[in-house]
Amino acid sequence: MNKKTCILLTGPTAIGKTAVAIQIALHYKTSIISADSRQCYKEMTIGVAKPTPEQLQKVPHYFINSHSITEEVNAAGFEQYALEAVKKIFEKNDIAVMAGGTGLYIKAFCEGLDTIPTIDPAIRNEVTQHYEQKGKQWLQEQIKEKDPLFFDKGEIENPQRLMRALEVKLSTGLSIREYQQGKKVERDFRIIKIGLELPKDLLHEQINKRVDQMMQDGLLNEVKALYANRSLNALQTVGYYELFNYLNGIGSLEEAVDLIKQHTRQYAKRQITWFKKAGIEKMVDPRLISPIVEFINEKLR
Low-confidence residues of the chain: pLDDT under 50: 1
Where does residue 188 rank: exposed (0-12), middle (13-18), buried (19+ CB within 10 A)? exposed
The reported pLDDT for the residue numbered 218 is: 98
Task: Give the pairing type, strands 95-99 and 61-62.
Answer: unpaired
User: What residues pair up with 5 in beta bridges, in sequence order?
Assistant: 95, 190
**CA-to-CA distance for 169 and 216, rounded, in angstroms?**
42
The reported pLDDT for the residue numbered 209 is: 98
The reported pLDDT for the residue numbered 233 is: 84
The reported pLDDT for the residue numbered 1 is: 47
- Give the closest residue to 58 by CA, choosing from 28, 86, 26: 26
Task: Give the pairing type, strands 32-34 and 61-62.
Answer: parallel
The reported pLDDT for the residue numbered 72 is: 84
**CA-to-CA distance for 92 and 127, rounded, in angstroms?**
46
Where does residue 12 rank: exposed (0-12), middle (13-18), buried (19+ CB within 10 A)? buried
